Amino acid sequence: MQANTVYGALRGLETFSQLCDFDYGTKTVQIYKAPWSIKDKPRFAFRGLLLDTSRHYYPIDIIKQIIESMSYAKLNVLHWHIIDEQSFPLEVPAYPKLWKGAYTKWERYTVEDASEIVNFAKMRGINVMAEIDVPGHAESWGTGYPALWPSSSCREPLDVSKNFTFEVLNGILQDMRDIFPFKLFHLGGDEVNTDCWKYTPHVKQWLQERNMTAKDAYQYFVIKGQEIAISKNWTPVNWLTLAVKFGSEVKNNGNYIAVYKEETFNTFAEKLNPKTVVHNWLGPGVCPKAVAQGFKCIYSNQGVWYLDHLDVPWDGFYDAEPLEGITDSTEQELVIGGEVCMWSETADPSNVQQTIWPRAAAAAERLWTSKEAAPISNTSEAALTRLQYFRCLLTRRGVQASPVTNQYARSPPYGPGSCYDQ
């Protein structure tokens, strides 16, 4: 086996392991149809899985199980959405009260825990991209430091008017820099409702003194966050979507959700740092606009690659195309890859693996394999057979992967039967 890097060798060994088959008749490991000659490389460099440890806490052993399972599908980035409005589980030595925002005194990650995860992932060829989602999705920060809230009735977004807010953000990023060596850092930026900035007296005054709207202040926050990340030698990633009118609604997993003005990409794209990686979440069409303006892009169109959308079947994941709508080859190269997202509102250690697998493996094939070798088709029998086989391989390796053909993710098998048929 030859590879240019140790990571290439790891992927090659994974492929090799999947060629091995235990023959129960002879009780030997066989490689059928040998000799094999396989020349392989990934289609996209960035093949990610998001894990949200704020809506529910995942113990270290569960996170390690997920990382290990990722390596089987050649995914190579764990996007660790560590903190959100519900809980702040991570230790930050510079601001030790922050993890008072954890659900309980037990649902926490020490600096050592986080480093252990990063190293465990590294040994499996997986980078950890950490995320601190600002300025929205951050209510839990104020449990330890209430000054980060504009007021007791305005707890999100973080107080844009105080230097302390950016001191804390800087302190978190400084401490995290020691833990997370990966070149990308995710700054969030999504779903920010700035309404209460306008009604909180000291923030309102701050805005007026600077002749800024709340929207201007949102941009100010995003760009200041980027500057801090860049100063620590990180490339910033931001959740961004297309411009949507304030108050409009979009269908999200069967429910209508409000889309806030303050995450528009178009309105201040020119102010974003040119290094910015645009992370497309809400729907299709973001990456084409982002790459047209020279930004790199990560594809996570929620209509097809959100694992918590249980009604998306395996072929919905499989048929997604990160380069959809992008024809220029220079622009295509700016799409660094894609990511399936395991948001945790209704996922926790009891059901996370079977919500991830096997659907994430369908996306993983899309991200790894050339388009010619993995044609898009709802009725691809070959892909279904591969995925069923892979699902059973996962279970053999101890991963709780769900039946492939259930039309609602992670639902139990309908009745008795072989793993290979379900």
Regarding 68 and contact with its own copies (CB under 8 A), the answer is no
Q: What is the dihedral of CA 213, 282, 307, 14, to 10 degrees?
A: -100
Selected from 94, 146, 396, 408, the binder of its own copies by CB under 8 A is 396
Stretch that binds its own copies, among 32-40, 61-69, 208-216, 289-297 (CB under 8 A): 61-69
Regarding 289 and contact with its own copies (CB under 8 A), the answer is no
Q: Which is nearer to its own copies, 39 or 105 (CB)?
A: 105
The span from the CA of 288 to the CA of 16, in Å, is 36
Q: Which is nearer to its own copies, 57 or 295 (CB)?
A: 57
Regarding 114 and contact with its own copies (CB under 8 A), the answer is no
Residue with tokens 């709207």: 213
Least separation in angstroms between residue 139's CB and its own copies is 12
Q: Which is nearer to its own copies, 237 or 341 (CB)?
A: 341
DSSP 413: P
The span from the CA of 297 to the CA of 149, in Å, is 32
Containing H/E element for 255? strand 255-258
| Amino acid letter for position 96 | P
Least separation in angstroms between residue 91's CB and its own copies is 8
- Residues 363-392 as x/- pattern, contact with its own copies by CB under 8 A: -----------------------------x
Catalytic option among 91, 131, 156, 191: 191
| Rounded (10°) angle between helices 359-368 and 381-396 | 120
Instruction: Mark 267-280 as b/e (b = at least 16 C-beta within 10 Å).
Output: ebbeebeeebbbbb
The residue count for binding its own copies (CB under 8 A) is: 58
The span from the CA of 80 to the CA of 78, in Å, is 6
**What sign does the CA torsion over 339, 221, 149, 257 have?**
negative
Cα 131–45–323 angle (5° rounding)? 95
Least separation in angstroms between residue 7's CB and its own copies is 26
Selected from 33, 39, 105, 245, the binder of its own copies by CB under 8 A is 105
Selected from 1, 6, 61, 327, the binder of its own copies by CB under 8 A is 61
Selected from 103, 145, 220, 268, the binder of its own copies by CB under 8 A is 103
Selected from 16, 22, 199, 256, the binder of its own copies by CB under 8 A is 22
Instruction: Mark 248-260 as b/e (b = at least 16 C-beta within 10 Å).
Output: eeeebeeeeeebb
Classify residue 112 as left (phi > 0), alpha (psi -120 to 50) or beta: alpha
The span from the CA of 53 to the CA of 347, in Å, is 10
Known catalytic membership, residue 191: yes
Regarding 413 and contact with its own copies (CB under 8 A), the answer is yes
Binding residues among 320-359 for its own copies as defined by CB under 8 A: 344-351, 353-354
Binding residues among 194-213 for its own copies as defined by CB under 8 A: none
Regarding 395 and contact with its own copies (CB under 8 A), the answer is yes
Classify residue 30 as left (phi > 0), alpha (psi -120 to 50) or beta: beta
Regarding 267 and contact with its own copies (CB under 8 A), the answer is no
Least separation in angstroms between residue 111's CB and its own copies is 9
Least separation in angstroms between residue 246's CB and its own copies is 26
Stretch that binds its own copies, among 1-9, 245-253, 330-338, 396-404 (CB under 8 A): 396-404
Are the C-beta atoms of 301 and 341 separated by less than 8 Å?
A: no
Residues that bind its own copies (CB under 8 A): 21-22, 24-25, 27, 54-59, 61-62, 64-65, 86-87, 91, 99, 103-108, 110, 112, 344-351, 353-354, 392, 395-398, 400-403, 410, 412-422
Q: Annotated catalytic sites, by residue? A: 191
